[in-house]
Amino acid sequence: MPGDLPTLRDVADLAGVSPTTVSRVINRSGFVSAGARAAIKRAIDELGYVPSASARGLASRHTGLVGLCLPVVEADAGLLHSRSSGPGQGAPVCETVRTVVEAQPDAIFSWGGMYFGEVVRGAEFAAWEAGLAITVAMTRSPDLEARVLNMAGRVDGMVVVSGTLPGDLLEHVARRVPVVLLTGLSPGSAHDRVTVSNAEGVERLVDHLVTDHGITTFEYVGASTGTPDDDERFRGFRRALLRAGLAAPEAPRLRGDWERGRAREIGEELVAGLRRGEALPGALVCCNDNTALGLLDVFAAHGIRVPDDVVITGFDGIEAARTATPPLTTVEQPMAELGRAAVEVLTARIAVPARRPVTMSLPVTVAIRASCGAHPPAG
pLDDT higher than threshold 80 for residue 289: yes
- CA atoms of 157 and 155, how far apart (whole Å): 5
Together in a domain, 233 and 356: no
Greater confidence (229 vs 110) lies with: 229
Final residue before a domain boundary, out of 40, 60, 80: 60
What was the pLDDT predicted at 62?
Answer: 73
Phi-psi region of 243 (alpha: psi -120 to 50; beta: other; left: phi over 0): alpha
* Tens of pLDDT, residues 54-84: 455 545 567 788 999 887 533 333 333 333 3
Together in a domain, 152 and 254: no
Residue-averaged pLDDT of the chain: 81
Counting Cβ atoms within 10 Å, is residue 353 exposed (0-12), middle (13-18) or buried (19+)? exposed
209 found inside a domain: yes
Peptide bond into 377 cis (omega under 30): no
* Tens of pLDDT, residues 162-172: 777 888 888 88
* Tens of pLDDT, residues 78-135: 333 333 333 333 333 233 333 222 223 333 333 434 577 888 889 998 888 888 888 8
- CA atoms of 296 and 373, how far apart (whole Å): 15
Together in a domain, 219 and 318: yes
Together in a domain, 249 and 214: yes
253 found inside a domain: yes
2 found inside a domain: no
pLDDT higher than threshold 90 for residue 203: yes
Q: List the CATH number of the domain containing 241.
A: 3.40.50.2300
pLDDT tier at 208, thresholds 50, 70, 90 = very high
223 found inside a domain: yes
111 found inside a domain: yes
Predicted TM-score (pTM) of the model is 0.72
In this structure, the number of other CB atoms found within 10 A of the CB of residue 358 comes to 13
Final residue before a domain boundary, out of 60, 79, 99: 60
How many domains does the chain contain in total?
A: 3
Q: How many CA atoms lie within 13 A of 213 on its CB side?
A: 27
- CA atoms of 71 and 161, how far apart (whole Å): 7
Task: Supply the range of the domain harboring residue 272.
Answer: 198-333+366-372
* Nearest residue to 175 (alpha-carbon basis) of 153, 193, 143: 153
